[in-house]
């Protein structure tokens, strides 16, 4: 009886291990192309807001609203080094109005003549409805329009959505 029980328990544990879902750790890229609806500038940078629709892996069809800021903080800059910043706020909304909020904030210091910038990162900061408790992170790049009002935001999802 004791051996049968041990064999049953071991078999049940093995079944759980084999059946346990494995999160795909593959990197995914999604391109969001939106139309600008607001923009402004200050002495040392600019912001732009744009929105559109897309299909996002694991989330499905969404509308999105993004604001991207790009500039230099003159208060923190010196004669030798500039303090650059990039900010992204992105809200993805499903057809039933569940939302995911993504935030990216990158600051760096470099010589004034440098044009290199670090990889821009983002992470999920909130969610509602079926996206409550969702997490994820990755990198992003925003391409401003060339003589049009379309902006391209490329999100690379390096940590899969988890909820």
Q: What is the pTM of this model?
A: 0.78
Say how far apart CA 95 and CA 8 lie, in whole Å.
46
Say how far apart CA 92 and CA 53 lie, in whole Å.
9
> What mean pLDDT comes out for the span 130-141?
90
Q: What is the pLDDT of residues 61-97, one digit of tens each?
A: 999 999 999 999 989 999 999 999 999 999 999 999 9
Whether residue 110 contacts residue 116, with contact meaning beta carbons closer than 8 Å, is answered with yes
HSE (side-chain half, CA atoms, 13 Å) at 114: 13
How many C-beta atoms lie closer than 10 Å to residue 137's C-beta? 16
Low-confidence winner among 28-37, 107-116, 139-148 (lowest mean pLDDT): 139-148
pLDDT at 3: 45
């Amino acid at each position: 009886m004791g051996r049968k029980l041990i064999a049953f328990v071991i078999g049940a544990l093995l079944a759980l291990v084999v059946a346990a879902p494995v999160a795909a750790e593959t990197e995914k890229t999604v391109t969001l192309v939106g139309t600008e609806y607001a923009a402004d500038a200050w002495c040392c940078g600019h912001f732009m807001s744009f929105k559109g629709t897309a299909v996002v892996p694991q989330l499905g069809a969404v509308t999105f609203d993004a604001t991207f800021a790009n500039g230099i903080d003159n208060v923190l800059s010196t004669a030798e080094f500039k303090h650059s910043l990039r900010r992204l706020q992105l809200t993805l909304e499903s057809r039933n109005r569940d939302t995911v909020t993504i935030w990216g904030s990158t600051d760096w210091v470099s010589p004034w003549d440098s044009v290199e910038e670090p990889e821009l990162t983002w992470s999920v900061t909130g969610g509602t409805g079926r996206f409550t408790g969702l997490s994820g992170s990755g990198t992003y790049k925003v391409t401003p329009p060339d003589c049009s009002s379309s902006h391209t935001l490329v999100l690379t999802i390096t940590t899969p959505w988890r909820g």
